[in-house]
Chains A and B, each alone.
Chain A
Amino acid sequence: MKKNLKYNLCWLVLMVAGFYLINTLMLTGVINTFIENMLVTIGINIILAVGLNLIIGFSGQFSLGHAGFMALGAYATGIMTQTMNSAGGFYLSILVGVVISIIVALIVGIPTLRLHGDYFAIATMGAAEIIRIVINNMKITNGAAGLFNIPQFATWDIVYIFVCLTTIVTVNFIHSKNGRAVISIRENEIAAEAMGVNTTKWKLSAFVLGAATAAIAGSLYASYLQTIVPSSFGIMESITILIYAVLGGLGSITGTFVATILLGVLDTALQSLGVLRMVFYAIALIVIMIFRPGGLFGKWEFSFKHLLTRKQNGDMAEVEKEESK
């Protein structure tokens, strides 16, 4: 445990430093509401893309229904905070959103996770559409008009903390015995099964964890924007999240972060160009996919452990060999 303390401390320092950097810039007025809006959107997208990357990049199940789980969280918060107008009510609504999302993910996942590749993608896409259409036709959700005047509890700092928390949970899950079982399914499902790995269980775990974080992102989205309509949780939203994950590299959380931030900034910077914005955005995507077909970072992961040990001894493999002795 002690040997990892140093690296964990590095991460903690990085997270706290990031928080204070944004806080200071905010106080000095460098970050105005326009940029703050961008940062929060990026933060929410990071939560969504990291969760989707867990499902697609690590367990190898191609899901196209992420927006559906986001909608569950968003509506849970939207509906509950209107009657429970307090911070406590907000956090309770996040929890309720997560629980509903987990239940729905189990209902969707148990029958569909035996499907492979395209078939699973279509099934999850259908499930997300069902969620959207149900929301569209319910009274409590105010139908297609959506909910507005949702009290704002999610400020940038709450979003920042949730980005850190969901990422820590996801990354720690990946780098554990259970995470290895999940990755082994992506690598070779038949071999994983022959090694005694319960493939259905671990595929489902990854799917459920991804869905749970999507619900959290949805709650933050609803509370920050204060307005939600069913049409914002359609297939295009799922595709947008997919773009972040694919562009950064399926199987790299570092990549997801970089890609989401990059595209978020690009999106805001190009806003002055009006309709032309989408053309430049698309060109940027095409260029990246041509020169980095595996995504910006492939499966590479930033790690303080590798960084620090390399600095000391030159060669990573050497060090790890030393350690093992």
Chain B
Amino acid sequence: MTEALSADHITKVFGGLTAVDDVSLHVNEKELVALIGPNGAGKTTFFNCLTGVAPATSGVVKIGGQEVKKNTKAYKVAQMGISRTFQNIRLFSQLSVLENILIAMTNQFKEGFLTSVFRLPSFYKTEDEMEEKAIALLKDFNLQDVMYYPAGDLPYGTQRKVEIVRALATKPKIICLDEPAAGMNPEETADLTRLIKRLQTEYGIAVLLIEHDMSLVMNLAERIYVLAEGKLLAKGTPEEIQNNQAVIDAYLGGGVDA
């Protein structure tokens, strides 16, 4: 099986602090992997290394088998096939939901400066095609009723959903979700669980998930990596992780009498 994403010996140092220390991880195609760990374990920093927002101090990231070269800008990394959502929602909040999706599709279509400025026939053709695709995607996730509303005016749960659909619209090989269930009620979480499952089954996209909601993680993830204090503490199937003494200690603050 090919790998959608692999990270080899990633280390990230901020001044004197090693936030991520020699972490290796891989996600196979169409696989659902979770990354868990206590607060401050370096999960989000690790995400930022993968997506090029804060490049790793050392280590190699490969997306779909292609190596991400050093100092690649975040937008180039995104174009290689990795997409993400953010811990605190980052939608284009004054723009409509439809426009949010259209912006995510920017790189899949070509539209010259002159064609758009002089409104040549090909401009209308690409615009129509883009809009058609975006609307089809929104319909697929039952968001067609809100597509002309400003994204920032939607309820919290819907905003989360829009952010995931927007990530999907870039046609990535892998989507990284940073705490998608944060601040959601059980009903919304159940909805979200189904949505994430659909990314994998219907769209064939690999998912890497950071999450604190253990019911969601145990329900979805095929494999789990555990980070603690920047280091990889454990990896394995949900059952293995649930019974791993080191993980339990890290979460419950044990170790005094262990």
Interface, chain A (partner B; CB < 8 A): 1, 4, 8, 168-169, 172-173, 176-181, 183-184, 187-188, 190-200, 205, 299, 317, 320-321, 324
Contacts and interface: CB of A to CB of B under 8 A. Distances in A.
Q: Interface on chain B toward A: helix, strand, loop, or mixed SS?
A: helix
A153 B74 CA distance: 49
Nearest to A181: B106
Interface stretch (B112-120, B206-214, B234-242): B112-120
A184 B124 contact: no
Contacts, number: 111
Given A188-B91, A195-B170, A317-B148, A178 B103 contact: no
Contacts of B95: 180, 183-184, 187
Interface in B83-103: 83-84, 86, 90-95, 99, 102-103
28 contacts: A4-B124, A172-B117, A172-B118, A177-B106, A177-B109, A177-B127, A180-B95, A180-B106, A183-B99, A184-B92, A184-B103, A187-B91, A187-B92, A187-B93, A187-B95, A191-B86, A193-B53, A193-B78, A194-B74, A194-B83, A195-B83, A195-B104, A195-B170, A196-B104, A196-B106, A196-B107, A320-B148, A324-B144
Given A194-B51, A199-B75, 9 more contacts: A1-B121, A169-B117, A177-B130, A178-B113, A181-B103, A188-B91, A194-B84, A196-B78, A321-B144
Interface string B157-170: 00000000011001
Contact of A188 (B74, B92, B167): B92
Contact of B106 (A1, A195, A317): A195
B215 interface: no
A179 B93 CA distance: 16
A173 B113 contact: yes
A190 B116 contact: no
A168 B114 CA distance: 12
* Shortest 4 CB-CB contacts between residues of A and residues of B: A176-B116, A187-B92, A196-B78, A191-B90
B79 interface: yes
Nearest to A317: B148
Nearest to A3: B124
Given A183-B92, A193-B75, A194-B74, A176 B123 contact: yes
Contacts of B116: 172-173, 176-179
B136 to A, nearest CB: 10
Nearest to B99: A180
Contact of A196 (B79, B119, B123): B79
Interface centre among B92, B127, B167 (most CB of A within 10 A): B92
A177 B102 contact: yes
Contacts of A176: 111, 116-117, 123, 127
B119 A195 contact: no
A184 to B, nearest CB: 5
Nearest to A172: B117
Contacts of B79: 196
A190 B73 CA distance: 12
A13 to B, nearest CB: 17
A196 B72 CA distance: 12
Contacts of B78: 193-196
Given A172-B118, A196-B78, A317-B148, A187 B126 contact: no
A314 to B, nearest CB: 15
Contacts of B109: 177
B106 to A, nearest CB: 5
Interface in B122-153: 123-127, 130-131, 135, 144, 148
A1 B121 CA distance: 7
Nearest to B111: A177
A299 B94 contact: yes
A12 to B, nearest CB: 12
A324 B103 contact: no
Given A178-B113, A184-B92, A188-B91, A193 B74 contact: yes
A173 B78 CA distance: 24
Given A180-B99, A188-B92, A198 B130 contact: no
Contacts of A299: 94
Nearest to A192: B103
Nearest to B136: A324
Interface centre among A8, A180, A181 (most CB of B within 10 A): A180
Nearest to A205: B113
Contacts of B92: 183-184, 187-188, 191-192
A8 B106 contact: no
B91 A191 contact: yes
